[in-house]
Structure 1
Amino acid sequence: MALISLKSLGVTMSAPLFSNLDLTIGAGDRLGLVAANGRGKSTLLKCLAGELEPTSGDITRSRGLRVGHVEQSVPEALLDRGFHHVVADALPAEQRDSELWRVDVVLDSLDVPEEMRNRPLCALSGGWQRLALIARVWVTDPDVLMLDEPTNHLDLARISQLETWLNALPREVPVVIASHDRAFLDAVTNRTLFLRPDDSPVFALPYSRARQALDEVDASMERKFQRDIKVAQQLRRQAAKLNNIGINSGSDLLTVKTKQLKERAEKLEDAAVPAHRERSAGAIRLANRGTHAKVLITLEDAAVETPDGTLLFRTGKRHICQDDRIVLLGRNGVGKTRFIAMIRNAIAEPGSVASVKVTPSTVLGYGDQAPSGTGGDDTPLAMVSRRFEVGEQRARSLLAGAGVVIEMRDRKIGALSGGQKARLMMLVLRLANPNFYLLDEPTNHLDIDGQEALEGDLLKHQASCLLASHDRSFIRAVGNRFWLIEKRRLVEVDDPQAFFRSVAETTS
């Protein structure tokens, strides 16, 4: 039975986000919403939750339906409250005292440690804040659960834990998930909606299989479009020939035939529908200036330590060479970010880290989870113009290509969306023209289109890089070497699958 039904639903902002959307959501559905950044996923979730009125069409909900909507950001009013209090406060006031036990049940199901339950959200990582929002909604016992980018800020262990938790939910409660995490969508969904401005196809398949089906549909539509246009052109050529003959011969029959051919051509042209072309949110392009050196960085059993000198791990004797795309694997807290910082410092100040030898021709491109080296009052336009000494007009053109819209170029970088910040970071990397990339969670906030473009550019340019990521699809696509941090040692492994399995097994 359908709990939510959409009929000809549409939302238009400055342009149509989606239109003529027909969809039903019922028991057993695990629906993934897929679209580029800013193309309507969050908007559709708000419509489903009754928080936003659509521009056109109708939404029908079952009588008394309780919709639980987990948004992307933590409301500022919750940041100073404790984890347990944030969840308990979601219960109706008249039930709070008698139903408080439900809070502990939900927190136990999400494996929230006892010592964390009284800490204020502002003292917790982004990942734990996300879980607090999920717990806050789930404790209200919703009939439908909707999650907006639930894996943002989660490490692999927490993503695996969330997958297990979602797959254990009662099947009668449908779940709708907007996400750019391809592996996550494959693990937890059984339907996929590709949100588009005109026609939004839905498949009864998880993401990867649905994407293959979508590509086949798009390819078939494009072939039909090309055939129809070709036939229409042939009909017009035939009509032109008959028209000339008819004029010369004075034949009324040929005149009628010419008109019929033209009408057939017009009908074909009017009915021909080109395949969908995703409107790019901004191009992801990297550069690789190259180097003659085979070895870029040599690690002489470097010690990676905490700020107070506690040993996290030792690297052993290792080399980073041209064409290496090394992925750092390891659980949270083992020292991946500290290691990346050490490599960055060694390149920035040669000789500053005795156990890290950097080839002089190495030029660094560093990307973290937000554009680095920008002041609080910096704007994208000012930052690009100053850092790369390009004129204002050239800077505006570069930002447009990166997907930073006109009205955002003179605002503070902090006002940009996560996706715009990520694409700005990629622009900064390209303009630096490096031959070695050091990337810490580069796909955070990138949509699937952006992730695939980044993957393609790293492979196309045979870019040398060392990266840390929680994105399993990205890791599989890009990595050709894998360094695992465990038991205070850095070891090389053949592939990441055993590590992924070990994380999943310990969280299940």
Structure 2
Amino acid sequence: MTLITLRNLGVTLGAPLFSELSFSLMAGDRLGLVAANGRGKSTLLRCLVGSLDPSVGEITRSRGLRIGHVEQDAPAQLLDQPVDQLLLDQLPADQRESEHWRVEVALDSLAILEELRRRPLGQLSGGWQRLVLLARASIAEPDLLLLDEPTNHLDLARIGLLESWLAALPRDVAVILSSHDRAFLDAATNRTLFLRQERSQVFALPYSPARAALDESDAAMAARHERDLKAVQQMRRQAAKLNNIGINSGSDLLLSKTRQLKRRADELEASARPAHRERTAGAIRLASSATHVRALVELDDAAVETPDGRLLFRTGKRWISPGDRIVLLGLNGAGKSRLINALHAAIRGDDRPAIRATPSLVLGHASQSLSELPDDDTPHGLICRRFDVGDQPARGLLAGAGIVIDRQTGPIGALSGGQRARLAMLALRLARPNFYLLDEPTNHLDIEGQEALEAELTAGETSCLLVSHDRSFVRAVGNRFWRIDKRRLFEVDDPEAFFQEAMEAEG
């Protein structure tokens, strides 16, 4: 059964976001929506739900289609309402008394804690808000769920819970989900739409095989475009020769053939479609200053504690050497960020005898909250002052990182999450560190940005200790893995056993 059909859909908001988009969604489809930040994913979802009219084209919905929509951020008007009331209000008025039990079932399905169910939504963390809104969208038994970045704010355990929840939905419920989490897309989808300004493409495949098919299609189109242009050039050369011969000989037949060749060349050139070029959101590049020491950091059974002094774990005797890309694995609350903070403090000069850094270490640090970027500062001011960069060079660097001119002198707090992340990466590069401490560095980065960061970290002898919930990123970057479990830190060969245990932790 066809639930929704798009014909030649296009949206222009200042500039074209996408155009000539056509596809049909069937009952039971699980469609991944993939595009770079700011390229129209949320806009398309709003068009599908009917809260935004497309600029061109049409959307046909099946009669009586019920749509559940979970946006990236909780709507402000919902924040003051208790969690259970939010769900109850989604039921028909005449069913709320007799069907109240459905609220508890929906909340149970996403493991919402009992003590949170009577609290206002705004008092919950971002992760809990996300799960509540998913439960709220599902309680009305929609035919189609539209989920915008559903893994935002979720740790691995809750991502695993979300994957299981999606798999347990009735088979005829369709889902369109926008996400930058490649492993989640692979697990949760069976179709993929790559949304582009022109020539968006849909594949009946999960993300990874669909991406391979897309790359193959792009390469074939690039080769075809190159062949077409060569053929055009050859026709024009032949036409020029025939024209000269026709003029010299006075042959009307040759002159007629010349005109035919020119016309064919013009037609082929007009129809030749150039290869897709992604409108980059800004380059992500890192830099590394050289060091030849055997160990950058030595941990001598350092104690990692909570702020009130409770022991979380001890590190044992560990070394971090040049070229090590160590991923720190552990469930929420195990102490990963506490270790990052302890290393940061020790490298910055705090007296911590059990943590020793070589004098030649140059630190690059990015926190999970990007707190190193003051909200009231400006991107231009931060780059100029922190790195002694002149006005025009600073503007060029910021533009290259995807911070457009009109945002460069505005407050950092007004930037999007993706722009803040790219500004943080630019600041890291300009510091020219030889060791990176990175806490959830892919937060807010789109897939293009994640892949660029992966390439930078794996090039050369980059050294880092990082924390990430992004399984694809961890697998691509890490060459050593430290796991925190049962109050101890130990090395493991790969992250797969941890991933499996973490994904099942909420089950």
The TM-score with structure 1 as length reference comes to 0.97
Maintained 8 Å contact 1:370/1:425: no
The answer to whether 1:359 aligns with 2:358 is: yes
Shift of 1:82: 3.5
Shift of 1:258: 1.6
Deviation sequence 1:446-501 (CA, Å, 0-9, x none): 00000000000111243100000000000000000000100100010000111111
Shift of 1:274: 1.2
In the other structure, the counterpart of 2:268 is 268
Rounded to whole Å, the distance in 2 between the matches of 1:94 and 1:414 is 45
Shift of 1:12: 0.6
Rounded to whole Å, the distance in 1 between the matches of 2:372 and 2:212 is 40
Corresponding pairs, count:
507
In the other structure, the counterpart of 1:102 is 102
Rounded to whole Å, the distance in 2 between the matches of 1:94 and 1:364 is 62
Q: Which amino acid aligns with 1:423?
A: R
Q: Greater CA deviation, 379-388 or 335-344?
A: 379-388
Q: Greater CA deviation, 328-337 or 134-143?
A: 134-143
In the other structure, the counterpart of 2:406 is 407
In the other structure, the counterpart of 1:331 is 331
Task: Please give the root-mean-square deviation of Cα atoms over the aligned residues, in Å.
Answer: 1.4
Q: CA separation of 1:462/1:93 partners in 2, compared to 1, >3 Å: closer, same or farther? A: farther
In the other structure, the counterpart of 2:500 is 501
Q: Which amino acid aligns with 2:272?
A: A
Identity of aligned residues (%): 65
Shift of 1:354: 1.4
The answer to whether 1:374 aligns with 2:379 is: no
Rounded to whole Å, the distance in 1 between the matches of 2:409 and 2:140 is 42
Shift of 1:353: 1.3
Shift of 1:86: 3.3
What SS does structure 2 have at the residue aligned with 1:142?
coil
Q: Which amino acid aligns with 1:321?
A: S
Deviation sequence 1:100-153 (CA, Å, 0-9, x none): 211100111111122232334343322111111111211222121010000011
Shift of 1:317: 0.3
Aligned ranges for residues 78-93 of structure 1 at < 5 Å?
Answer: 78-93=78-93
Q: Greater CA deviation, 285-294 or 464-473?
A: 285-294
Rounded to whole Å, the distance in 2 between the matches of 1:394 and 1:309 is 46
The answer to whether 1:219 aligns with 2:219 is: yes
Deviation sequence 1:318-360 (CA, Å, 0-9, x none): 00010000001111110001110001001111x5211101001
What SS does structure 2 have at the residue aligned with 1:275?
coil
Shift of 1:262: 1.4
Q: Greater CA deviation, 374-383 or 266-275?
A: 374-383
Q: Which amino acid aligns with 1:143?
A: D
Q: Which amino acid aligns with 1:50?
A: G
Shift of 1:92: 4.2
Q: Which amino acid aligns with 1:114?
A: E
Maintained 8 Å contact 2:3/2:25: yes
Q: Greater CA deviation, 367-376 or 161-170?
A: 367-376
In the other structure, the counterpart of 2:459 is 460
What SS does structure 2 have at the residue aligned with 1:299?
strand
Q: Greater CA deviation, 187-196 or 255-264?
A: 255-264
Q: Greater CA deviation, 37-46 or 69-78?
A: 69-78
The answer to whether 1:281 aligns with 2:281 is: yes
In the other structure, the counterpart of 1:59 is 59
Unaligned runs of 5+ in 1: none
The answer to whether 1:21 aligns with 2:21 is: yes
In the other structure, the counterpart of 1:302 is 302
Q: Which amino acid aligns with 1:418?
A: G
Shift of 1:34: 0.3
Maintained 8 Å contact 2:480/2:493: yes
Rounded to whole Å, the distance in 2 between the matches of 1:38 and 1:323 is 34
Rounded to whole Å, the distance in 1 between the matches of 2:51 and 2:26 is 20
Maintained 8 Å contact 1:369/1:422: no
The answer to whether 1:471 aligns with 2:453 is: no
Q: Greater CA deviation, 248-257 or 305-314?
A: 248-257
What SS does structure 1 have at the residue aligned with 2:476?
helix
User: Displaced runs of 4+ in structure 1, greater than 4 A?
Assistant: none
What SS does structure 2 have at the residue aligned with 1:209?
helix
Rounded to whole Å, the distance in 1 between the matches of 2:124 and 2:293 is 43
The TM-score with structure 2 as length reference comes to 0.97
Deviation sequence 1:306-327 (CA, Å, 0-9, x none): 0011111111000001000000
In the other structure, the counterpart of 2:443 is 444
What SS does structure 1 have at the residue aligned with 2:262?
helix
In the other structure, the counterpart of 2:112 is 112
